[in-house]
């Protein structure tokens, strides 16, 4: 809430000023009234002043505004373990579930959710799974040290096609060879058909005495209803330090994209899904001299990766594991894959001078 100071009548409103105090006590009360208002305002907002104003602890969630969808904007029946919106992975069990995870647009100028967000994520289960115990949208925040021993508050906006429950949970994952996963209960929320803001505060345990291995992370997840159909929409997810939900603070698209690209990037245009037939952004090289020998070219990543990523090359037809040499798809070869780039091409013996491919680089947790 923005600061509003309303001095008592008489201090500014000349129609009631001057007022002759009936007593010294009344005079003191009149003089103190505005100071008490200021005091009350500060006291009510003290937790806000204690919390960080920027950086990781202001919002540790990346792509909480669901602005970045490098892998595509709609996923029909994705396998469990599929990344959908950038940084958000869908995990579920059971059999026979039919579901879609998609980017949805807010109507410009709507006021249900503040700050004029562009998008929200919709999880729609049209056929329920049998034997299901979990169905979640999960974000793994790099490093289990994140918020360890601190109080955090998660906040988000959500609605559903009917009265539904949605739970928020947390996990400390200590990585490969590390200590056992620690689960942290969050809260279950009652969604309606109208957008509402929800929040809950939890304390993330200390990591004292724990063993940390590669891939450690703090997991944050939305736990959907299991074994039933539903449509649930989520927007503006934030995880900040402290015991109050700070006002959602969107980042610029450029900032958010760069944060996402530490974990995934592609040569395709931002709105083109990997595997599409689209030449924009392709890596292209022509040596000028046809050769039957391998052709390789170095590629530098836009953003240094979390770890050496899993790189996939695509030819002009969008076939994974292939590149174009001489205008035809040939088996791709990769070497020197590191956090800053890779060398890609083909060992195919077609006598040609040109090499063309798209790539994706995935360093997700």
Partner 1 sequence: MYCHYIRLNGSGIIVHGFSDAFEAPQPGDILIVEDGPRHFHEAFPDPLQNERGQFRFRWADGQIVERTQQELDAEWAQRPPAPPTLEERVKATEDLLLNILLGGG
Token pair, residue 297, equals 């070219």
Please tell me whether residue 135 binds partner 1 under the rule CB under 8 A: no
Please tell me whether residue 355 binds partner 1 under the rule CB under 8 A: no
Please tell me whether residue 211 binds partner 1 under the rule CB under 8 A: no
* Shortest Å distance, C-beta 82 to partner 1: 9
Q: Which is nearer to partner 1, 82 or 100 (CB)?
A: 82
Binding to partner 1 (CB under 8 A) within 314-343 occurs at: 320-321, 333-335, 337
Choices 61-69, 186-194, 264-272, 285-293; region in contact with partner 1 by CB under 8 A? 285-293
Choices 40-48, 54-62, 269-277, 304-312; region in contact with partner 1 by CB under 8 A? 304-312
b/e code 79-98 from CB counts within 10 Å (16+ = b)? eeeebbbbbbbbebebeebe
Q: What DSSP character marks residue 261?
A: H
Distance CA 293, CA 306 (A): 33
Among 307, 317, 327, 340, binds partner 1 (CB under 8 A): 307
**Number of residues in contact with partner 1, rule: CB under 8 A?**
31
Query: How many other C-beta atoms lie within 10 A of the C-beta of residue 323?
Result: 27
Please tell me whether residue 217 binds partner 1 under the rule CB under 8 A: no
Under the phi-then-psi rule, with left for phi > 0, alpha for psi from -120 to 50, and beta for the rest, what region is 27?
Answer: alpha
Among 214, 247, 298, 327, binds partner 1 (CB under 8 A): 214
User: Is there a contact between 235 and 157 (Cβ–Cβ < 8 Å)?
Assistant: yes
Q: Between 172 and 201, how does the x/- string for binding to partner 1 read (CB under 8 A)?
A: ----x-------------------------
Q: Which residues contact 49 (CB under 8 A, 6 or more apart)?
A: 42
Q: Which residues contact 69 (CB under 8 A, 6 or more apart)?
A: 84, 85, 86, 103
Give the interface with partner 1 as residue ranges (CB under 8 A): 79, 81, 176, 214-215, 289-294, 307-310, 312, 320-321, 333-335, 337, 345-347, 349, 351, 362-365
């Amino acid at each position: 809430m923005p600061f509003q100071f309303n001095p008592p009548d008489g201090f500014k409103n000349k129609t009631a000023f001057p007022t002759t105090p009936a007593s010294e006590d009344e005079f003191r009360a009149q003089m103190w009234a505005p100071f008490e208002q200021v005091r009350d305002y500060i006291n009510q907002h003290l937790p806000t002043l204690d919390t960080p104003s920027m950086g990781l602890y202001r919002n540790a969630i990346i792509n909480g505004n669901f602005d970045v969808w490098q892998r595509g904007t709609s996923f029909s029946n994705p396998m469990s373990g599929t990344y959908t919106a950038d940084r958000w992975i869908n995990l579920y069990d059971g059999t026979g579930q039919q579901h879609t995870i998609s980017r949805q647009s807010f109507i410009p100028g709507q006021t249900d959710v503040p700050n004029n967000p562009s998008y929200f994520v919709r999880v729609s289960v049209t056929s329920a799974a049998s034997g299901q115990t979990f169905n979640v949208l999960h974000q793994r925040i790099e490093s289990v040290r994140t918020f360890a021993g601190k109080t955090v508050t998660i906040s988000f906006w959500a609605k559903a096609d009917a009265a539904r429950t949605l739970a928020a949970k947390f996990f400390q994952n200590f990585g490969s060879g590390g200590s056992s996963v620690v689960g942290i209960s969050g809260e279950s929320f009652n969604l309606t058909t109208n957008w509402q803001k929800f929040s809950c505060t939890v304390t993330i345990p200390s990591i004292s005495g724990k063993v940390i291995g590669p891939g450690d992370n703090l997991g944050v997840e939305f736990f959907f209803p299991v074994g039933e159909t539903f449509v649930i929409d989520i927007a503006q997810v934030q995880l900040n330090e402290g015991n109050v939900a700070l006002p959602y603070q969107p980042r610029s698209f450029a900032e958010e994209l760069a944060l996402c690209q530490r974990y995934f990037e592609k040569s395709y245009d931002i709105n083109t899904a990997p595997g599409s037939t689209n030449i924009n952004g392709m890596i292209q090289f022509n040596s000028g001299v046809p050769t039957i020998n391998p052709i390789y070219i170095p590629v530098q990543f836009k953003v240094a990766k979390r770890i050496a990523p899993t790189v996939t090359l695509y030819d002009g037809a969008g076939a994974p594991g292939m590149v174009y040499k001489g205008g035809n798809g040939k088996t791709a070869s990769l070497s020197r894959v590191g956090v800053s780039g890779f060398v890609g091409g083909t060992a195919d013996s077609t006598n040609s001078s040109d090499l063309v491919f798209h790539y994706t680089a995935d360093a997700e947790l």
